[in-house]
Structure 1
Amino acid sequence: MRIAVDLLPVTSKPSGNRRFALQLLTHIVELSDAQNHFFFFCSRQNVSLFRERFTQANVTIMALPTLSVSPISRVLTEQLLLPLWLRKYKVDLLFAPQNVMPVLGNVPTVVAILSMHINYEQLNFPWWQRLYGRWILRWTSKKAEAFTAISQFAADSYAERYGISPKKIFVAPLGFDAHPDLKGDNTESLLDGEYILFVSALHPHKNVRFLLRAFSHIARKKSHVHLMIVGPDVNGESARLNAMADQLGIAEQVHIMGAVSDEMLVRLYSHARLFVFPSLIEGFGLPALEAMAHSLPVVVSNRTSLPEVVGDAGIVLDPTDERAWSETIIRLLEDDALSSEFAQRSKMRAGEFSWRRTAEITLECFHSVLASLSDAKEKKL
């Protein structure tokens, strides 16, 4: 089986989408025999990321002339050049792990549904990006042979919006695999006091401003407790959050770290007191799973996929109710028995997820598509 993977949208910067692509493909290649050959189509910007990670003989990595940070350049390459390369290498299947696929060509395609953020009005996408994004999502829904979805919520939302049969969607939840070389337990904490941890890119829908307001009620009662906000800046949001923390009088207890290395992230998870995630929109919510894997009590939003991910292992709250968040967090900080109970629940819940299982379900989807196409060909003969 000759499988192509469209990696043009994946940037080299740390992100949930990058982690998804790297972890999933690592396990897919490991689970595949030598008869499966993979063709990774990358951008000039991210090709080194994949060449360092994948050195197997059955993986061919190519850089197409585009930059993944340039949306227009990427879209043109994905829609015009990629189909030509797929034809050149006579691939049997294309895997598109970032929501969309090329319009041209007739290669059977499996698309991974990560999110449908482009359809949410409250997210401020440029008009052209929203127009193209909505069109290509709808077109993809009609053209793809099958889909994988990172949560049941994502699968149900996609099926309902685009009229897709649930039988065409394979739910493949994300996973967590501890890296053997990354240990945080034996390192010193970055702070003398306790800290609450938030991890994600600073998009407005991550609801970090709400988190600052909720934390301001905690900070007045717990001067030794800090809030660590970890994740890449988005359109200058870091500066606005720092200014807001100053206005709320909590600047000395709020630390906006920006993007950090994997080693630093493990260290931050390992020493945190608890994890908070008031996001309004998620396709899955990988940071919540990572926090649970580090045995942290988690408090998350009751929106979209997050209740599904944490189950009864975490505390689920309305992401507009500052009092509920501040009171719940204070209770966890003060009640060691309660905090310990949720830490144990977190560890058990995280054990139900693995990237290997994500890869197994994805490969099952690949084989199902090719088997169906083979059966259809035989019926025509």
Structure 2
Amino acid sequence: MRIGLDYRAATAAPASGPARQVLALERALRRRPDTETVLFTEAPLDHPHRAIAVAADLPARADADAAPPGLRRRWRFEAGFLPGALRAQKVDIYIAAAEGGLPVWRKPAAVRQVLLLHDLFRLTLRRPRSAPWRSLASRLIDEAAIGHSIASADAIWTPSRYTTAECGRLFPAHAHKLYVLPDALAPLPAPAERSRLSRPLPPRYWLLVGTREPRKNADLFLRAWLDARRQHYDTPDLVVVGSPADVPAELQRLSGVHWFERIGDDELARLYLDAERLWQPSYAEGFGLPVLEALAAGTPVAVAEGGALEEVAPGDMPRFDPHDRPQLAELMIRLSRESVVGNAEQRRAFAQRFAPNAYAARVGALLDELLKNKKK
């Protein structure tokens, strides 16, 4: 059996969250017996992935960025390149690893199609800092691309029950295709020595990972932390993995907040290991990998209610309303005084439920289910 995998994320941004999941899926597929994995991507002529993947030429930048954003580039890959490439490679199953990405037309009839759908926030959340016409155009394109892929997929794999429920709510006619495939937790490298970090760490700190998108809720979280700090002097410092430019100017240089940008995995591992607690305040999250990475280091977490984050945190870890700033500040004050519930080994054991072996087993079961349905 030949399985094709959408490898574009791994080519374009290998350190990103989507790329890490594509790489985890590739490793799981290569472990499956009697299966050959074929990678499909787009890349410049000198890119090393052209030696391991079936690659479309990357369009010139001016063409790729034409308005609406990325439309011509996606059309060339998904309508112009992919159908013929799947046919030429005699692929039996093709897995699209983006919110859209399945062939637009002329797909070989025998090919089974899987959509790896992380979330639907492109359809359900407003686009910040965007002109109204551009926001409308992007939404219409996303609705068409995602809607097409959901309709044409034989199976839709989502990382959480939350995303499954959202997809079923927005596309009820295709709810029968939905299956949960939790994201894989890849082991981080050995933690970097503190002396090799880009900046010194405070002796005691909480950790926040991710600030780029408004749904990460860094603005409200920082304001709640500042409230707690003013009321209780012993509230720990805050280490933030992200850019100060992602938050308002008045929050960019707070005393006690330490920003880390563009750090390596070994530095991130050190931040997880030494943190007193990871906070994940996102009001919309498709999965929540930083929570599991912290738990794998034995570090306690506190997560926002109402989304996928609750699925990736043990039941004894604190939850909070991501929209209630006073409640969050009160929780911070309380947790800065209390002892941590549970122990590090219990937290590491919880994270192992999402380790590569468990992920590969789930991928195998879903593929078996897909092939079984084909025979019916």
Q: TM-score range by the shorter chain?
A: 0.7 to 0.9
Report what 1:194 is aligned to.
204
Alignment of 1:130 onto 2:133? no
Of the structure 1 ranges 159-168 and 289-298, higher mean CA displacement relative to structure 2 is found in 159-168
- 1:318 Cα deviation from its structure 2 partner: 0.3
Report what 1:273 is aligned to.
276
Could you tell me which runs of 5 or more consecutive residues in structure 1 were left unpaired when the two chains were aligned: 377-381
Distance 2:173 2:322 in 1: 30
Distance 1:320 1:239 in 2: 22
Structure-1-length-normalised TM-score: 0.84
Structure-2-length-normalised TM-score: 0.85
Report what 1:120 is aligned to.
124
- 1:50 Cα deviation from its structure 2 partner: 5.7
Report what 1:184 is aligned to.
191
Mapping 1:136-215, distance limit 5 Å? 136-164=145-173, 166-179=175-188, 182-184=189-191, 187=194, 190-215=200-225
Distance 1:47 1:24 in 2: 25
- 1:263 Cα deviation from its structure 2 partner: 1.0
Mapping 1:216-235, distance limit 5 Å? 216-220=226-230, 221-222=232-233, 225-231=236-242, 233=243
C-alpha spacing 1:137/1:18, structure 2 compared with 1 (3 Å): same
Alignment of 1:310 onto 2:313? yes
C-alpha spacing 1:48/1:335, structure 2 compared with 1 (3 Å): farther
Mapping 1:46-125, distance limit 5 Å? 60-66=52-58, 71-76=70-75, 77-100=77-100, 101-104=102-105, 105-106=107-108, 107-124=111-128
Q: 2:245 aligns with which of 233, 239, 258?
A: 239
Q: Deviations over 1:12-52 (max 9, x none)?
A: 253221211112222321x222x31111112216995868x
Aligned 8 A contact 1:219 1:253 in 2: no
* Root mean square deviation, CA, Å: 2.8
C-alpha spacing 1:203/1:46, structure 2 compared with 1 (3 Å): farther
SS at match of 1:341: coil
C-alpha spacing 1:328/1:224, structure 2 compared with 1 (3 Å): closer
Aligned 8 A contact 2:29 2:35 in 1: no
Report what 2:39 is aligned to.
40
Distance 1:289 1:85 in 2: 37
C-alpha spacing 1:114/1:224, structure 2 compared with 1 (3 Å): closer
Could you tell me which runs of 5 or more consecutive residues in structure 2 were left unpaired when the two chains were aligned: none
Distance 2:257 2:355 in 1: 33
Report what 1:358 is aligned to.
359
% same residue = 25
Aligned 8 A contact 2:320 2:328 in 1: yes
